[in-house]
Chain A
Amino acid sequence: MEIKIHGWESKGIAGVDMKIDLNKPGSKTPTKIGMIWLDSGGGKTTTHELIKACLTGKTDKLEEEYKKVNGKPSKYERRKDDDHYAESADFTLKVSFGAEFYRFIIHFDHKAKTVDMDTEAPRGYQEGYHPPISAIPYLHEKFVDLFILDGEHAKKAIQEDSGMADITLNTIYQLDRFDDINESLEIYFKKEKEKSRGNVSDKGKITQIENKIITLKARQAELSTQLRVNTKKKLETIAKLKQLQKEVGKINTDEQAKRDKLADKEKDQIRLKTAIDSVKIEIFELLKKPHHLSSHIAKSFISFTKNLRKLDLPGDSAKEFFQNLVKTPKCVCDEPMTEARKKKILKNSNDYIGTAHSNFASSMKQDVRDFIMNEKEGSQDKLAKCHTDLDLKIGELLTLDRQIEILRKNVKASSGRSFDVIQEDIDTCNATIAVIELFIKDYEALEININESARPKDIKSKNAIKALLKLFNSKLNLGHDLHNKELKIEEMKVFIEAIKNEAKEEYKKELIVAMNSQLDEIIDDDKITITSIDAEINFNGGSTGQGLVVAYVFLIKAFEQANKANKFPLLVDSPAAPIGPRYRANVAKMISKLSNQYICLLQGGERAWWCKELYNNSKPDITALTIFKRTKYYQKYFNNPDENLIEFPNAGMVDGYKFLALFDSELETQDFVNQIKNVYPNFDEKLLNTLLMEFEKQRKIEAQEVENV
């Protein structure tokens, strides 16, 4: 795609009104070179800025100008005492993107202090900035700065530590797209990390989880071994128990009577234990009514209830009754509800309790009546009876236990061992089985609430371990995934950075060769050699005034090299002034050889050595325009107008190189002197005089040449 500037129109903006048409006569194609001379104060810099704003769509900076000036005219607004002051102004840029023609229009409303933009595209007129999508990558500010060129920007490319050469290369070769890729990777990882919040990605935490899994697996193995051991032990104990029960069953006839007696006693023991449980339950049920404990407590209940009644708690009315009463116009006594009455009623209402508390207190009093006052049998006696019964039964059980113990000692099995010894063994076996069964019960238990922080040695359930292992493994997998992604992304970033640097180095090598070859053609007296391009362009040789030549060559060659498929117009504000007179001609020659469109905005002092070379080497593919203000000095051009003169309210414009070469600029010499001072900061009068003489001589030669033609 090739971007070309076809012209622009400025109306009502600070400086002069102008309508620039760069197209060849009768054609829709602009000339390759555009050479526009604009008188000092004509709005050269403003035009340059507005062209840039049209291409980038950045009008916010233009609007900010209104705020900066605090009520005074902004830099884009004419003074109010100007004969041509206008409350609104427009700037229109005509551009083509390949075969498509666009017009970007900036509207200034100086009264409302607003700046708007419209776009006229092949598909129609639209409000706002709407460039073709394919051109957007080349229309961001950083890139446009490189082809709608500002002298300052070019200078920075050769300034030490400015970093501008590196930035320029990244932009022109679009190497900064690699940075965009890296940035996108970082954004992607950040999102992934947020998605799996709660999981882990850093190595330390992963190790922690891995250790937990190892410990849990060890505990799982330990429990599994214990289960095997315990199952075996249980079977052995059951077998032993059977043996012992058999042993108990095998008794001599003499022992049978003792054995029967023991069995009876054991049955009594069970009955007695059950009876004791019943008494305990009965006692506890009685205790749920606390007055059963003692007559003293029962009396305190009755006394408290009676006291509540005495105090009228709860009363016949609840607090709410009085709170509602004060809202009525009249009191219950039919007297008016005065403020004083209201206050007194509300104060007295505090003696009453609310409805809900009142209901509770009433129920409480009713309970005392029902459970305590109306109870027929002495309730405390009931508890005392139960207590006595319990004590008796406990005594009986003790006696029975002792009897059973003696009988067990006396009853002997066929084996010769007494029943109590065998029973001891049976009890041990039962205890062992109970412990094993408890272990198995815990081992098989379903763990619903899994505690992540539980110590593995405290976990008894295989299901809990399984669940925790599943949880930690899933965390670990996610953690590993994320960690692996992070590592991969880091590797990719390093790789992308390496590609970027390698590509840049290759481009630099080619660029240095191309630049040195071009510089050989331009500079013949004081040879310049580019040695390297780092943050800035490094070169050997050269003198003051040649630096900017290097910068131009750098930009032009970089564009040529990088954008073979894409071409951009190079528009430069005051291109010749900073170069210095000696190299102007050669730079102009170089520019005329460019395949890109080139437009320069010239000022006084820049025509010598520059315009002639540009014209002679480019004609007829060149447009040369001279724009001058409608002032007393230039009135002669309006009085005896050139046949090509186009008049604007505050300016005149003539198309043609001859007019430009012969044009009598009011401040030509003064402008040249100023430029020399900028190029040679340590200039002396001798040098200045020499250069001025050369300048005047050159101006005359060029004028004579044009006259002769």
Chain B
Amino acid sequence: MFKVSDEAQTWIKSLIGQEPFKLALDVYYIFCLTGLAAEESKKIEGKEHDLVDQFPKPYQDHQRLIINFLLISEKNRLGISDEDKNSIKTQLIEKYVDPNINSLTGSGRNSLNGYANAGYRILSDRMAKPGNAASFISAWLKEMKKIEKK
């Protein structure tokens, strides 16, 4: 199950329903991108808010890229070397990828939840509670540039 903390859900409440955040997973995805780009993961503490089980249809064409991004960030975060074939095989691909459903395993989803939670923490530290989706996206893109430069 993809999850965010109850606190994060409250923070993004006013965005939900505005374009382009029509699905439960949309703002979660913004949090994921933030955490993955920053290569930071943080376990959810406190009450959790369940979103969906799998990537919804609008994400399915690109879900392999998202999984790929997760593997890259996890490899870097865990400090797995490029030469360590066994770790890449067992600790990343076999652990996080469920090839039967072309998606993430339970561990994979848990790992992505950690990145999303870290993303929320980064953004809530740097940005005011969002109200208007356009302003939020613009501000977020600016923040992402800063995160990238780090």
Contacts and interface: CB of A to CB of B under 8 A. Distances in A.
Contacts of B64: 360, 363-364, 367
B29 A287 contact: yes
Contacts of B58: 288
A368 B26 contact: no
Contact of B89 (A307, A353, A367): A353
Interface stretch (A57-65, A296-304, A590-598): A296-304
Given A277-B19, A311-B88, A367-B68, A294 B29 contact: no
A304 B82 CA distance: 8
17 contacts: A277-B20, A280-B19, A281-B20, A284-B137, A287-B29, A288-B61, A293-B148, A297-B148, A304-B68, A304-B72, A353-B93, A353-B94, A359-B99, A364-B64, A367-B64, A367-B68, A390-B134
B59 A288 contact: yes
Interface string B84-111: 0110110001100101101000000000
Contact of A297 (B37, B88, B89, B102): B37
Contacts of A360: 64, 93, 97, 99, 102
Given A288-B61, A294-B145, 9 more contacts: A291-B65, A293-B37, A307-B82, A356-B99, A357-B97, A360-B97, A363-B64, A368-B65, A387-B138
Nearest to A386: B141
Interface residues of A, number: 46
Contacts of B83: 311
B36 interface: yes
B75 interface: yes
A364 B103 CA distance: 11
Given A301-B68, A304-B71, A280 B137 contact: yes
A696 to B, nearest CB: 104
Contact of B85 (A284, A311, A364): A311
A620 interface: no
Nearest to B76: A300
Interface string A238-276: 000000000000000000000000000000000000001
B82 A294 contact: no
B20 A280 contact: yes
B66 interface: yes
B11 interface: no
Interface in B100-135: 100, 102, 133-135
Given A357-B93, A367-B65, A368-B68, A281 B19 contact: yes
B62 interface: yes
A319 to B, nearest CB: 10
B33 interface: yes
Interface of B: 19-20, 26, 29-30, 33, 36-37, 58-59, 61-62, 64-69, 71-72, 75-76, 82-83, 85-86, 88-89, 93-94, 97, 99-100, 102, 133-135, 137-138, 141, 144-145, 148
Q: Which 4 A-B pairs have the closest CB atoms?
A: A356-B99, A284-B20, A360-B99, A311-B85
A289 interface: yes
A304 B85 contact: no
A276 B134 CA distance: 7
A290 B144 contact: no
Nearest to A295: B148
Contacts, number: 116
Contacts of B26: 284
Interface in A354-394: 354, 356-357, 359-361, 363-364, 367-368, 371, 383, 387, 390-391, 393-394
Interface string A337-357: 000000000000011011011
Nearest to A281: B20
Contact of A356 (B71, B86, B88, B100): B100
B59 A361 contact: no
A290 B65 contact: yes
B68 A351 contact: no
B134 A394 contact: yes
A587 interface: no
Contacts of B145: 294
Nearest to B67: A364
Given A300-B72, A367-B64, A283 B137 contact: yes
Given A280-B20, A291-B65, A296 B99 contact: no
A288 B62 contact: yes
A350 B37 CA distance: 32
Contacts of B67: 364
Nearest to B145: A294
B61 to A, nearest CB: 8
A301 B20 CA distance: 26
Interface in A142-200: none
A355 to B, nearest CB: 8
B132 to A, nearest CB: 9
B65 A371 contact: yes
A390 B138 contact: yes
A391 B148 contact: no
A368 to B, nearest CB: 7
Nearest to B21: A284
A679 B49 CA distance: 90
Nearest to A300: B72
Contacts of B66: 288, 290
B141 to A, nearest CB: 5
A581 B111 CA distance: 103
Contacts of B29: 287-288
A312 B85 CA distance: 9
A535 interface: no
A387 B86 CA distance: 41
A304 B89 contact: no
A297 B69 contact: yes
A200 B113 CA distance: 44
A296 B134 contact: no
B33 A293 contact: yes
Contact of A280 (B89, B133, B148): B133
B120 to A, nearest CB: 16
A300 B38 CA distance: 13
Contacts of B75: 304
Contacts of A304: 68, 71-72, 75
Given A287-B29, A313-B85, A357-B99, A390 B68 contact: no
A308 interface: yes
B77 to A, nearest CB: 12
A78 B10 CA distance: 94
B102 A308 contact: no
